[in-house]
Chains A and B, each alone.
Chain A
Amino acid sequence: MMLQVTGVSKRFGGLQALTDVSFELAEGKIMGLIGPNGAGKTTLFNVVNGVFEPEEGKVIFRGEDITGLPSYEVARRGMARAHQVVRPLHELTVRENVMVGACYGREGLSLSAAAVRADEALSQVGLIERGHMLAGSLNVAQKKRLEMARALAARPYLILLDEVLAGLNPSEIDAILDTIRGIRGQGITILMIEHVMQAVMNVSDRVLVLDYGVLIAEGLPQEVVDNPQVIEAYLGDPEMTARLLGE
């Protein structure tokens, strides 16, 4: 088992962000994580990769209990992440950004090996021509690709993708979906938060649904969309419900 989350709860003051969340993710699979805005999806990512420590519960990564380990320790064990709000290192070049991932990721490469790895990762996400540019000068779609390249360069076992499709146009979405399938083809397990339903349904092997910090459904994509509880969760958001029902 790649990742086992058992009974995880996280509070921020009076706000219960996650309540008793448990799920398992098998090696080599793509798991989609959906839910209305504010459901706690990004918080769950933060707990899984060590940015926050949960008040209760355990996170087991490849058989090792990583609950409470700082994020850099988790990264070195082979879990990489692409952020929802892109966080490029502005004053470094695109290539240097990706080299950070390679130098400090699972394999901890030397600078020269990291430079080679960075070029591979940049080719994979289609950014290789922009390697010498400052990361701050990329547009949104390119920054999302940069986030993915940084994560890939670490050669992780598991990659967390947080809304890498948000804000992209349909042709950009198709291109990134191809990249995501390519990542799985390399044997990397993926856990992805996504709002673009068609994309989640297309690429996910299984889907998790969070609502107000509670896991309300888990299963195959089609099972989940037909689940009345899930439909109800989305009713607060009419547009999303229509989209969900339409598909």
Chain B
Amino acid sequence: MRTWKLPGFWIPLALVFAWGLIILIMGQDTARETAFTLMMFVAMASSLNILLGYTGYVSFGHIVFFGLGGYFGFFLLSQHDWNLFLAAIAGGALSAVLAGLLGMAVLRLRGAYFALATIGINEAARAFVSNFEPFGGATGLFVNFAAYERYGGAGKALWLTFILLWVATLAVVLVSFLVKHSRFGLGLMAIREDEDAAMVMGVKAPRAKTITFTISAFFPGVIGTLYFFKNGNVEPGDAFQLHMSIESLVMVMLGGQGLVLGPMVGAVTYQGLRGYLLTSPIFKDLHLAVAGVFLLLIILFVPAGAVGWVRGRFPRVRRFLE
């Protein structure tokens, strides 16, 4: 398995790399802001795919790791003057540890029960943070404007945040690919297809699922820290939006679960669609309803997602679309 020789390995990485580079060369603030949002969703969907696509466990709690990790990272950099890079890593680490602990408990559940438990976790996390004084309770936290000075002013700080997000996105894509093409990944896909049969073949399912949940939760924590730093503040309502979890699921399903390119295509398509819906006079209040209908249609008619459908239809392009 020479993964680095597969074209499907380089294409997603090259796309994200080129994308970030173009934004850097253009140097426009508006282009950067648009790219930041889009890239954030690419990374969120890709990290969710590591759990959803490879093990088949549907989590509505992905945003919890974005919220809690982001809160923790933001707390460190705003209250304790941590450097942005280290704070983001710490945010990711906290999310990963939490996922490991939660995973040991909730990953015993399967199917709908697991999905329901993850919704509960989201609400519990929001309630906890709203009442947790060190995190500012219901009003949240703000970053002191002086904090931007160490990065050479607010303008430069925002560019730095974008670059870090770009690196994080490249890392998610790389990790997605490496997991998929490893012995570990083969075990995960066996779990996805038939967990009991996989265990009879020797796959240590409880451990493998927990590790996967941990990997999948690390990235949202990093991204959350970067996102809140860019915004300059964090509050419970922003950090734990259940609809963002659902939208991430739609993105993964739309593009194709279990494929590295799938969530990327799904995130870009969905964000494009959402941008249109939010500005259209008819649909502007209905964009979540449209997302729900979309999810239903995908599950009913194109369960493999867009990239999966192309792969199934044209076997020749398979090695390019991993």
Contacts and interface: CB of A to CB of B under 8 A. Distances in A.
A112 interface: yes
Contact of A91 (B181, B189, B197, B198): B189
Nearest to A77: B202
Nearest to A108: B202
Contacts of B196: 51, 71, 87
Contacts of B202: 72, 75-76, 101, 104-106, 108, 154
Given A89-B194, A92-B189, A100 B201 contact: yes
B183 A114 contact: yes
Interface string A139-150: 000000000001
Main secondary structure of the interface of B (DSSP, over half): helix
A70 interface: yes
Interface in A79-106: 80-81, 83, 87-92, 96, 99-101, 103-106
B190 A72 contact: no
Contact of B187 (A91, A100, A112, A154): A100
Contacts of B197: 83, 87, 89
Interface in B168-200: 181-183, 186-187, 189-190, 192-194, 196-200
Given A100-B203, A104-B201, A111 B189 contact: no
A110 interface: yes
A106 B202 CA distance: 8
B186 A91 contact: no
Given A89-B190, A92-B190, A101 B182 contact: no
A90 B1 contact: no
A91 B193 contact: yes
Contact of B199 (A70, A89, A105): A70
Contact of B200 (A49, A108, A115): A49
Given A96-B186, A111-B186, A90 B193 contact: yes
A59 B195 CA distance: 24
Name which of B182, B186, B205 has the most chain A CB atoms within 10 A of its CB.
B186
A100 B200 contact: no
Contacts of A103: 183, 186-187
A148 to B, nearest CB: 13
A87 B196 CA distance: 9
Contacts of B258: 91
B189 A72 contact: no
A72 B191 CA distance: 12
Given A110-B183, A112-B1, A72 B194 contact: no
Contacts of B187: 100, 103-104
B204 interface: yes
Contact of A71 (B186, B193, B200): B200
Contacts of B200: 49, 51, 71-72, 75, 81, 83
Contacts of B1: 111-112, 115
Interface in B92-128: none
B32 to A, nearest CB: 39
B183 A89 contact: no
A218 B277 CA distance: 73
Contacts of B199: 51, 70-72, 75
Contacts of B194: 87, 89
A92 B203 CA distance: 15
Contacts of B203: 72, 100, 104
Contacts of A111: 1, 181-183, 186
Given A96-B186, A103-B187, A111-B183, A150 B201 contact: yes
A210 to B, nearest CB: 21
A208 to B, nearest CB: 21
B193 A105 contact: no
Interface string B73-86: 00000000000000
Nearest to B312: A134
A110 B189 CA distance: 16
Q: Which 7 A-B pairs have the closest CB atoms?
A: A104-B202, A75-B202, A89-B193, A87-B197, A100-B190, A71-B199, A72-B199
30 contacts: A49-B200, A51-B196, A72-B199, A72-B201, A72-B202, A72-B203, A75-B200, A75-B202, A81-B200, A83-B197, A83-B200, A87-B194, A87-B196, A87-B197, A88-B193, A89-B193, A89-B194, A91-B192, A96-B189, A100-B186, A101-B202, A104-B190, A104-B198, A104-B201, A105-B202, A106-B202, A110-B183, A111-B181, A115-B1, A154-B201
Interface of A: 49, 51, 70-72, 75-76, 80-81, 83, 87-92, 96, 99-101, 103-106, 108, 110-112, 114-115, 150, 154
Given A72-B201, A92-B193, A100-B203, 11 more contacts: A51-B199, A72-B203, A83-B200, A87-B197, A89-B198, A100-B201, A104-B190, A105-B201, A106-B202, A108-B202, A154-B202
